[in-house]
Amino acid sequence: MTAPTTTGAATAALQARWSEVMLGNYGVPPVALARGEGAWVWDVDGTRYLDLLGGIAVSSLGHAHPAVVEAVSRQVSILVHTSNLAMHVPGIALAERLASLVPARARVFLCQDGATANEAALKIARKRGNLQGRDEIVSTHGGFHGRTAGALAVTGTPAKRTPFEPLPGGVVFVDFGDVEALRAAVGPRTAAVIVEPVQGEGGVVLPPPGYLAAVRALCDEVGALMVCDEVQSGIGRAGTWLMSVQQGVVPDVVTLAKGLASGMPIGAVIATGEACDVLVPGDHGTTFGGNPVSCAAALAVLDTIESDGLLEHVTRLGDRWAASFDRIDHPLLASHRGVGLWRALELLQPVAGAFEVAARDAGFLVNAVRPTTIRLAPPLILTDEQADMFSDALPALLDAAAGAP
Ligand SMILES: *Cc1c(COP(=O)(O)O)cnc(C)c1O
């Protein structure tokens, strides 16, 4: 992450403490956040920012949303934890809601985050594959599925993988969006294909239309499972509950996390059809996964998205935002792309880091997801006025990034 050009005293003091005590896996963050309200956050020096990243596509209802505050407060005062040795109502209610998002027989496993959702999905694929003599998982270059060993093994980003090899094997990578490459890679040995509907960490990369349907068809042809990683794309980010289902595709396994509980840690696996029946008692588990408080938060998120019409809002505002980017004619801005409130600005020079700093100095949190790419993934409750604030500031931010050394 790039260093800020201006740092308040409280932030600087925390950066010094961080540097002494935290492991080096992140680098020193440029911001220390103290609180948030809606799409606004304040740092420890009292500086206000418009949060256009939502804690990496997580804070779906923004910060301190009353529905989440109420649900979490109520649940935390009643029951925080049960382990998997007891059931609880919020967990069952959430599983019922998630199962209803796919038009098929479906069952759910609740866990902690995106990586653990994908680990469970991969265990389903491996167990079924082993029973059927299928030993390969096909994944995509540029994809991202998490940092744990299993999820990293199917993550097609060499910089994230190479230092940690050997990773679990039996993984084949193909170019994202290339149906012919996939056709050449899948066969009787394929246990599963794992794919994101849009590559998020890869830079909000959209495949050609019909790609997911082609993945589904190829999996059906060879009897492989289709695992759709909707950790970033699901639950409203793209203006739909699930991008796969929206495109008429029912995956065998869908994984969810990020925005599902608007910041409370949770992950979920939705299995459909025969994938529902692969795991038997003793095959998999978690102590904390699907805890009652996170489940209560997720239910509040699903209720609020529905009652406030946020899927329609995200689609409308996303299109409006894209139209505002269309109107910007700047030598640094090559193009923009995305869906819903999930957008990327493509720069002609590798100065996304400088753009991120300029944006922060101007009061906007954005993410330099690639050297030439800025990612926007704001809370789904972003208002038209807030979106316009960024569009209006964009030419000056591009100027600043272009002029940066
Ligand atoms: C963020 C992400 C993950 C990993 O989620 P964690 O909660 O960080 O483990 C997996 N898949 C996709 C598509 C993601 O965007």
pLDDT digits (tens, 9 = 90+) for 279-319: 999 999 999 999 999 999 999 999 999 999 999 999 999 99
156 vs 165: CA distance, rounded Å: 13
Q: Per-residue pLDDT for 405 more than 90?
A: no
Given this model, what pLDDT does residue 145 score? 98
Q: State the pLDDT at residue 7.
A: 81
pLDDT of 31 over the 60 cut: yes
Largest CA distance in the chain: 61
- Catalytic residue status for 175: no
Pick 67-307's CATH classification: 3.40.640.10, 3.40.50.10860, 3.30.70.250, 3.40.50.300.
Answer: 3.40.640.10
Respond yes or no: is residue 258 known to be catalytic. yes
* Total Cβ atoms within 10 A of residue 330: 16
Please tell me which residue in 113, 229, 364, 390 is annotated as part of the active site: 229
Residue spans of the domains in the chain: they are: 67-307, 309-402
Q: What is the pLDDT of residue 1?
A: 42
Q: Is 123 a catalytic residue?
A: no
Q: Do domains 67-307 and 309-402 have the same CATH topology?
A: no
Q: How far does the centroid of ligand 1 lie from the alpha carbon of residue 84, in Å?
A: 23
Residue 3 scores a pLDDT above 90: no
What pLDDT score does 5 carry? 53
Mean pLDDT score, 235-244: 98
Q: DSSP string of 20-68?
A: HHS-TTS---S--EEEEEBTEEEETTS-EEEESSHHHHT-TT-BS-HHH
Residue pair 199/300 in contact (Cβ under 8 Å)? The answer is no
User: Measured from the CB, is residue 114 less than 6 Å from ligand 1?
Assistant: yes
**Backbone phi and psi for residue 145, each to the nearest 5 degrees, phi listed first:** -130, 5
Task: Indicate which residue of 43, 51, 113, 144 is catalytic.
Answer: 144
**d(CA 235, ligand 1 centre) in Å:** 14
Q: Where are the alpha helices (DSSP H) in 263-383?
A: 292-307, 310-326, 352-361
Q: Does domain 309-402 have CATH number 3.90.230.10?
A: no
For residue 293, give both structure tokens. Answer: 């408080």
Residue-wise pLDDT tens digits, 327-364: 999 999 999 999 999 999 999 999 999 999 999 999 99
pLDDT tens, position by position, 112-137? 999 999 999 999 999 999 999 999 99
115 within ligand 1 shell (Cβ under 6 A): yes
Q: Ligand 1 pocket, 231 CB below 6 A? A: yes
With a pLDDT cut of 70, the percent of the chain lying above it is 98
Q: Is 230 near ligand 1, meaning CB less than 6 Å away?
A: no
Q: Is 234 in the pocket of ligand 1 (CB under 6 A)?
A: no
Closest CA to 369 of 192, 115, 199: 199
| Region of poorest pLDDT, from 58-62, 137-141, 156-160 | 156-160
